Amino acid sequence: MQRNYQHELELARVAGRLSRTENVVMLGLISGESTTRVRQRLFRHLAGLPTAPADSSSSTANTLQMESLIRDCDKLAKHQASAFNKTLAPIEQALEQLQKIKQGSPSSQASLRQALSHVQKINGDSGGSSASAPALRELATNVSKYGKHVEKTFKHPLDSLGDGSSAQFFAQKHGEHVGRALIEHFVHSGQFGLAAAYAEESRVSKPGGEHETRFREMFAVAREIEEQRQVERAVEWAERQGGACEALEFELRRLRFLQLVEQAEPTRALEYARAWFPKFASSRMAEIEHLMGIFIYARRLGSSPYAALFDESRWRQGAEHYVACVCRQAGVPGASPVRVAVDAGATAIPVVCKVAGLMRDRRVEWSQQNELAVEVPLPADMRFHSVFACPVSKEQATEENPPMALPCGHVVCRASLEKLARGVRPGVVASGRFKCPYCPVMASLADARAVHF
């Protein structure tokens, strides 16, 4: 479904932070999120609040603030549409009358003047500009009030993130790579027209036709599952993949089984279960046995223990599972890398701003390049690999400072081992051998082995 992005961008402009939030809003909208969810994310990012509020009284208050802003934003959007209709209606009516005059081709100057005066009379009777001016003034007043409401709520200063010069330098140096990543994001989100338009305007090459064809077919099948409630094509694809997509095939078969039960066709549902469920008996017998009990409540599904299985969201979940399996089989990330990067950056903004403010107040600078002064906690769905923190220095391991395993089995970062080998601790002789920080075993730097997670 096509969405109108202009309202959300106007909201960002009202907040006075368009340069730092426009991309977040646009990427959220084109990735398929609902307008309400995009506004909630924008509000939370601007206010420096976590994406998923914790269960506490303060988070409840923050949630109420966000909901209040969203309601006011919806009211403002309706008022804007109403004001524009009042303004454009007389203009469109006058244009229609002028078009009729043009088609009629008046024979004389007098008849032309008579026709124009007739148009002026119609425009005056409908109110014309005198009727539209109050509506526009009222709209401007409401926009101003809403802007003040936003500024009072979002007290998080974003000026501490810099003037944007580093971002401009990055864009100049890696502009082509960023462009390709954005095109991949648009294709990954099903926005093929937007990907083509961006590729044409930015003069960045699009991925191969086979890649786009795969995604077009994937989204077409996903829409069949979610909107048309048809799983046949998805089931055929899952069968061709064999055991790699067994869980998906069972979920789709279950959706079809529940659909037949919901349509009051218990006989067909039972025949369908007998035909396909034995295939999954070795791994999902308990779930199959549970499903077979549904026939007892066939006439009162809404009040039965199986009512939760008939939630409308099951079709959306099935479509998402199908998309995830297709991406995995194609070797493509399930989530768009651009979206993950934007979400991670938005999560880090409150922490970075707070640290930057503290450093500015204390007149200190962070000297490490390509590294944040503090660790930014990311949600579980953004952790794609293991992270090792040295138990001695409390620093995270890097390629330059990898984790090293001692003969006793304890693991410490290489920089900490080098300090121990040099005897930097008081009372330790720099002999090259040192005691493990966690047990009495003696070791040397040559005895340590790099550990790869």
Whole-number average pLDDT of the chain: 76
Question: What pLDDT shows up at residue 46?
Answer: 43
Q: Is the pLDDT of residue 13 over 70?
A: no
What distance in Å separates the CA atoms of residue 26 and residue 8, rounded to the nearest whole number? Answer: 8
pLDDT value, residue 141: 85
Which residue, among 385, 397, 357, 229, has the nearest Cα to 417 in the 3D structure?
397
pLDDT digits (tens, 9 = 90+) for 297-334: 988 888 899 999 999 899 999 999 999 899 888 888 87
39 or 443: which carries more pLDDT confidence? 443
pLDDT over 50 at 209, yes or no: yes
Task: Give the residue among 183, 223, 233 at the shortest CA–CA distance from 337.
Answer: 183
Over range 227-231, report the average pLDDT: 92
Query: Tell me, what amino acid is at 23?
Result: N
pTM of the model: 0.56
pLDDT level of residue 26 (50, 70, 90 thresholds): very low
Distance from C-alpha of 337 to C-alpha of 444, rounded to nearest angstrom: 42
Tally of CA atoms within 13 A in the half-sphere of 255 that contains its CB: 27
**179 vs 254 pLDDT, higher one:** 254
- Average pLDDT (218-230) is 92
Res 7: pLDDT = 45
Give the residue, 432 or 289, on which the prediction is more confident.
289
Q: Give residue for tokens 């109110």.
A: 127
* Closest by CA position to 176, among listed 204, 208, 198: 204
Checking if the pLDDT of 67 tops 50, the result is: yes
Q: What is the pLDDT of residue 221?
A: 93
Looking up tokens 């338009």, which residue turns up? 197
Least confident of 220-224, 426-430, 449-453: 426-430
Which is more confidently placed, 53 or 360? 360
- Between 422 and 425, where is the model more confident? 422
Higher pLDDT: 321 or 168? It is 321
CA distances to 29, 166, 346, 349 from 354, rounded to whole Å, are 28, 19, 14, 9
pLDDT tens-digit series, residues 255-299: 999 999 999 899 999 999 999 999 998 989 999 999 999 999 988
Are the C-beta atoms of 126 and 93 separated by less than 8 Å? yes
Task: Domain ranges for the chain, please list them.
Answer: 6-157, 218-330, 403-450
CA-to-CA separations, 74 to 49, 69, 146, in angstroms, rounded: 21, 9, 11
Q: Mean pLDDT across the stretch 408-423?
A: 86
Predicted pLDDT of residue 22: 39
Q: pLDDT tens across 336-349, in order?
A: 888 888 888 878 87
Which pLDDT score, from 0 to 100, does residue 451 have? Answer: 84
* The most confident of 88-102, 114-128, 362-376, by mean pLDDT: 88-102
Q: Which residue has the higher pLDDT, 284 or 94?
A: 284
pLDDT at 150 over 50: yes
pLDDT value at residue 33? 45
Percentage of the chain surpassing pLDDT 70? 70
